[in-house]
Each structure stands twice: as C-alpha cells, then as structure tokens.
Amino acid sequence: MDVLHAAMWVEDVESAEAFYTEGLGLHRTREFESDDGATNRFVGGKSDTEIQFKYYADGEDPDGDGNAGGDQSSGFDHVAVAVDDIEESIATLTEEFDSELLKGPKHLEDKDIRIAFVTDPEGYTVELIEQIE
C-alpha cells in the first residue's frame, strides 16, 4: 500500500504548475486527457508521490459532475492509494467502514491497472489503484 497522488481542480493550470515547479522545485511528470474530457497534469519530486491538476481547457465540465464524485467547485477531487487487491479492498471498505463504491472497478488496459473510486468516512473520494502484473 502507498499514497500515489492527491488531485485538485484548477482554473489556471499554468500558474498552478509554475507555483509547484518554479516556486517549490517539483517537476512535471506526465499529462493525459481522461474520458470525461478533463486534462490531468501531474507534478512530483524525489518520491513517486504526485500532485494531479485537473482542468477543462474551456473551463466547463461537460457532465457537470466532476470525475467519479469529486467536487470541482471545492477544488479537491480525490486522493489515490495503491492496493494489492482491488476487489478485496472494496469489500473491506464497503462492509467494515460503510464506504460507498462510486465507480468501478475498471481495467485500464493501456496502463495495466485497475481502478475504482470509493468514499472515505468524511465523504471524500478515494481512488484505489491495483497494478496488474
């Protein structure tokens, strides 16, 4: 188990990236567009943990609901945690901690991972990521 990244919605991705890279010495690690049309840009440091900036190029969420339960208006979207067995983790969290399964599990074949989104006790979204070997 490991914390992988925290995700936040930003309106000005260039300013956000400059703050964390030029101001704090982090560096851009990757970028991709998700199925919902949001662009996802990541910055990181010496460890594998990253900060994910989520944004829409035109500033508008086409579905109006953010990604898998995250709240675009609050700025916070989710925290991602690596798990060994996604099905077991979902079962434990939903049965023992009253977590709600928001989305998934889904296999992302191009990345060789399985993902799911659940709620924590405060209602925040947690992305579970299982590496497929």
Q: Give the pLDDT confidence score for residue 66 in this predicted structure.
A: 47
Strands in 125-131's sheet, in edge-to-edge order, are 27-33, 39-44, 50-55, 2-9, 76-82, 125-131, 113-119, 101-108
Maximum Cα–Cα distance across the chain: 44
The structural domains of the chain, with segments of one domain joined by +, span 2-131
Class level of CATH domain 2-131? alpha beta
Q: Give the pLDDT confidence score for residue 86 in this predicted structure.
A: 95
Please list the pLDDT of the chain residue by residue as tens digits (133 residues). Answer: 789 999 999 888 898 899 899 988 899 999 999 888 889 999 999 888 999 999 887 766 555 544 444 555 668 889 999 999 999 999 999 999 989 999 999 999 999 999 999 998 888 899 999 999 8
